[in-house]
Chains A and B, each alone.
Chain A
Amino acid sequence: MEKLIDSHRLYYKGEEDPVVNSCRVRLARNLSEHYFVSRMGIDQRRDLLKSVSETILAKMGGDFRLLTRDNTKVEERRLLEELNLIPEKFFDPDGYRGIIIGGGAVSILINEEDHIRIQAFCSGKALSELYRMALKMDELTEGVLGKVAFSKRWGYLTACLTNVGTGLRASVMVHLPALSLTKQIPKLTNACRALGYTIRGPHGEGSDLAGNLYQLSNQRTLGLSEEEIINGVIHMADRMGGFEGDCRRQLLGAMREVMEDKVFRALGVVNSARMISSGEAAGLLSAIRLGLEWKFFDGAPKVPINELLDNIKPTHLSRLYGEKIGGRDAAQRRDVLRARYLRESLKDIKTALSN
């Protein structure tokens, strides 16, 4: 299990980009002869999980395995959640849900909202490649699973109408510190929505905007081809990157000292603080990332910042330090370990400025 998680974390590395953090593609599919998941009883879900996973694994072989509530420990499930491989409550009892995972970029969720959800992740920019990988998996599973729920008019039939048609959701996680600082996110959100895209905080609808990270995705899944959707999101992300880049340059021009102060304060906190909450950590990493971009710093983090963002999450920290953290002072203990971890990971970063 650990090996699986580690190799997934190294996942597919796309092109590094000053704004695009990571990408994700998701395809929703259902089998036509079964009710959709929310309508299925426990027995039906259990049977479907068994038959679908056995069929897919027989075809895929290799390192692929099915993870369910029954064959994982609580900590392992939390790790999967922290990596955004599964949503919260995925492994709740009686859900009979599973994830097929093999250490590469692609995994398959069974009995989530749809019978099957094929998902692919990468760090950096590689949305087209992710789509190609997800598509290959789609062709493979379709070949062995039997009749897919599909109609000529509506396309792939999904449990929720917001996914019908291509069943394709393409998302890009973008780092927008300059646009956030200059309070342009609401304007950007409205402009995107008018064009058919949504921008959300890092964990979907209604979540915190911690660390200036936002998720850009297509709103429509119907009436467009898969290529149009993928290219549309790529294009939108490029435009957003352009706005962010312009805004960063303006900040550097007009407010240089303020930016230096912000960035170096962040480094100062990371170097000295003994307790850092996850909210604070996200903000500090955003500022440090900016400092690296602007070459205010020499040196590099010991681990890419994307991985740092995962590693400072509660269960990741527990695992890194081999500590079972619980009880009344758990939050405080995590804040202590988080501070230590960040201090260690960023200790090679030094000022490059002469003043």
Chain B
Amino acid sequence: MPCDSCGYSKTVANIEREIDGKNVCVELCERCLLEGSPRDDNWLRDILARKERGDRKARSDVCPNCEMTEDEIGSENRPGCSTCYEFFESVIEKLVGESQQGEKKHKGKKPGQSV
């Protein structure tokens, strides 16, 4: 089950609580668990409400396409998909600068171009 707060697929905890007379179970990924207030019923209510509305707050450090995290890209110098290049532009820019001796822009051919 994905994280109820942000939708990230790797969850680490589920919190069972009685809220408003109902037994609920909230799945959380590591980041949402650490940054949130899992003991606070109001916080949990807010997550469940947003989930109901289809309004999850996606993490800004997780690629919406392949779920690669910013940390993973940094540690391996490897984006997970084409979307990562756009989604993590500033991280990519820094890492490319390091790998490519400061170069920042493509100067070669494009697809569909006959050279």
> Could you tell me which A residues sit within 8 Å of B by CB distance?
30, 32, 34-36, 38-39, 135, 139, 142, 148-157, 159-162, 164-166, 168, 196, 219-226, 228
- Smallest distance from the beta carbon of B18 to chain A beta carbons, Å? 38
> Could you tell me which B residues sit within 8 Å of A by CB distance?
65-66, 68, 77-82, 85-86, 92, 95-96, 99-101, 103-112, 114-115
Q: Using A32-B82, A148-B111, A225-B107 as known contacts, say yes or no to A39 and B68 having CB atoms under 8 A apart.
A: yes
Bound form: Cα–Cα A149–B68 in Å: 17
Bound form: Cα–Cα A13–B101 in Å: 34
Bound form: Cα–Cα A164–B108 in Å: 11
Bound form: Cα–Cα A154–B58 in Å: 26
- Whether B108 contacts A168 by the Cβ 8 Å rule is yes
Chain A residue contacts of B65, Cβ below 8 A: 35
- Whether B80 contacts A157 by the Cβ 8 Å rule is no
Chain B residue contacts of A168, Cβ below 8 A: 108
**Would you list 25 pairs from A and B whose C-beta atoms are within 8 A, ordered by A residue?**
A35-B80, A36-B66, A38-B78, A142-B111, A142-B112, A150-B111, A152-B106, A153-B106, A154-B96, A154-B106, A157-B79, A159-B78, A161-B77, A161-B79, A161-B96, A162-B77, A168-B108, A220-B101, A221-B100, A222-B100, A222-B104, A223-B100, A224-B103, A225-B109, A226-B115
- Smallest distance from the beta carbon of A214 to chain B beta carbons, Å? 21
Chain A residue contacts of B78, Cβ below 8 A: 36, 38, 159-161
Name the residue in A30, A157, A219, A228 with the highest tally of chain B Cβ atoms < 10 Å from its Cβ.
A157
- Whether A219 contacts B80 by the Cβ 8 Å rule is no
- Smallest distance from the beta carbon of B15 to chain A beta carbons, Å? 29
Cβ-closest chain A residue relative to B77: A161
- Whether B80 contacts A222 by the Cβ 8 Å rule is no
Bound form: Cα–Cα A336–B68 in Å: 52
- Whether A36 contacts B96 by the Cβ 8 Å rule is no
- Smallest distance from the beta carbon of B45 to chain A beta carbons, Å? 35
- Whether A226 contacts B82 by the Cβ 8 Å rule is no
Q: Using A36-B78, A153-B106 as known contacts, say yes or no to A222 and B68 having CB atoms under 8 A apart.
A: no
Bound form: Cα–Cα A39–B63 in Å: 12
Chain B residue contacts of A228, Cβ below 8 A: 107
- Whether B103 contacts A223 by the Cβ 8 Å rule is yes
Task: Name B108's contact: one of A39, A142, A225 (CB within 8 Å).
Answer: A225
Bound form: Cα–Cα A154–B105 in Å: 6
Bound form: Cα–Cα A354–B112 in Å: 62
- Whether A226 contacts B100 by the Cβ 8 Å rule is no
- Smallest distance from the beta carbon of B62 to chain A beta carbons, Å? 13
Chain B residue contacts of A35, Cβ below 8 A: 65-66, 80-81
Chain B residue contacts of A32, Cβ below 8 A: 82
Chain B residue contacts of A162, Cβ below 8 A: 77, 99-100
